[in-house]
Amino acid sequence: MTRLLLPLLLAFLPVQAAASPVVVAILDSGVDASHPAFAGRIVDGYDVWYDDADPDDRCGHGTALAGIVAQLAPDAAIMPVKVMADECYGTYSQMAEGIVYAADAGADITLIASGGYAPSDSLAAAVAYAQGRGALVVAGAGNDGTDAPFYPAAYVFSVSAVDRLCGPYYRSNYGAHVDIAAPGVEVWTTAPGGYAIRSGTSMAAAHVAGAAALVWAAWPDMAADDVAALLMETADRCSEPGRVNAERAVAPVQVWLPMEAS
> 3-state class of 19 per DSSP?
coil
Catalytic residue check, 207: no
The catalytically annotated residue of 172, 202, 226, 239 is 202
Q: Are strands 46-47 and 136-140 parallel, antiparallel or unpaired?
A: unpaired
Question: CA torsion 78→82→84→90, rounded to 10°?
Answer: -90
Helices (H) then strands (E): counts for the chain: 6, 11
DSSP 109-149: EEEE---BSS--HHHHHHHHHHHHTTPEEEEE--SSS--S-
Q: Are strands 109-112 and 23-28 parallel, antiparallel or unpaired?
A: parallel
Catalytic residue check, 122: no
The catalytically annotated residue of 35, 61, 177, 207 is 61
96 to each of 76, 83, 99, 152, 156, how far by Cα in Å?
23, 9, 5, 9, 13
Catalytic residue check, 202: yes
Residues carrying an active site annotation:
28, 61, 202
